[in-house]
């Protein structure tokens, strides 16, 4: 994959004060933070961000949760960013995530799973433009 991915620290992890530890871990793993902000998604915006999951059983819970509080969003840069970041965060379900992954360490369950990572280069591109303007982004 390419050099860019998008991450979001989800509401429950923000409430639990895990922002600093999670960002620290991300930087230690060699990712450069190109952009960073805290924001809250209204439900209508969360529905657009997650539109590929429209109609799935977990969609209503996902939207309710993701709009329930602030999130910390970042654009990350590293070689092979999408794949390496997905390895670092681990399985969607923290019970299935490997020891040492961010989700194994900080996630509660499949919905409150601490963190998002883009699933492809195309998603990364769409998601970075969803949250940030080019003036808010700083290459390494």
Distance CA 129, CA 63 (A): 20
The answer to the question of residue 78 lying near ligand CMP (CB under 6 A) is no
Q: How far is Cα 81 from Cα 104, in angstroms, rounded to an integer?
A: 20
* Position 45 contacts ligand CMP (CB under 6 A): no
Q: Which residues participate in the annotated binding site for ATP?
A: 10, 58, 86, 92, 103, 113
The span of 14-22, 76-84, 105-113, 132-140 binding ligand CMP (CB under 6 A) equals 105-113
Cβ distance to ligand CMP smaller for residue 127 or 139: 127
Reading the block at residue 28, the tokens are 């230690």
SS3 93: coil
Interface residue with ligand CMP, options 110, 121, 123, 130 (CB under 6 A): 110
CA distances from 129 to 11, 53, 77 (A): 21, 19, 15
Applying the rule CB under 6 A, the residues between 52 and 71 that interact with ligand CMP are 53, 58, 62
Active-site annotation holds for 32? no
If you search the block for the tokens 């949760």, which residue do you land on? 65
Give the annotated binding-site residues: 10, 58, 86, 92, 103, 113
Ramachandran angles phi, psi of 116, nearest 5°:
-110, 150
91 binding ligand CMP? (CB under 6 A): no
Catalytic residue numbers, as ranges: 116
């Amino acid at each position: 994959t390419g050099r860019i991915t998008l991450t979001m620290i989800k509401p429950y992890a923000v409430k639990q004060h895990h922002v600093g530890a999670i960002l620290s871990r991300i930087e230690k793993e060699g990712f450069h933070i190109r952009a960073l902000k805290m924001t809250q998604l209204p439900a209508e915006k969360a529905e657009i961000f997650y539109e590929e999951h429209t109609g799935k059983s977990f969609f209503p819970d996902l939207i309710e949760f993701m709009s329930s509080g602030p999130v910390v969003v970042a654009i990350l840069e590293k070689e092979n960013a999408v794949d390496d970041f997905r390895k670092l965060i681990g399985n969607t379900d923290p019970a299935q995530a490997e020891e040492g992954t961010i989700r194994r360490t900080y996630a509660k369950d499949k919905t409150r799973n601490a963190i998002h990572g883009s699933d492809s280069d195309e998603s990364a591109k769409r998601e970075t433009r969803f949250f940030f303007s080019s003036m808010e982004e700083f290459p390494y």
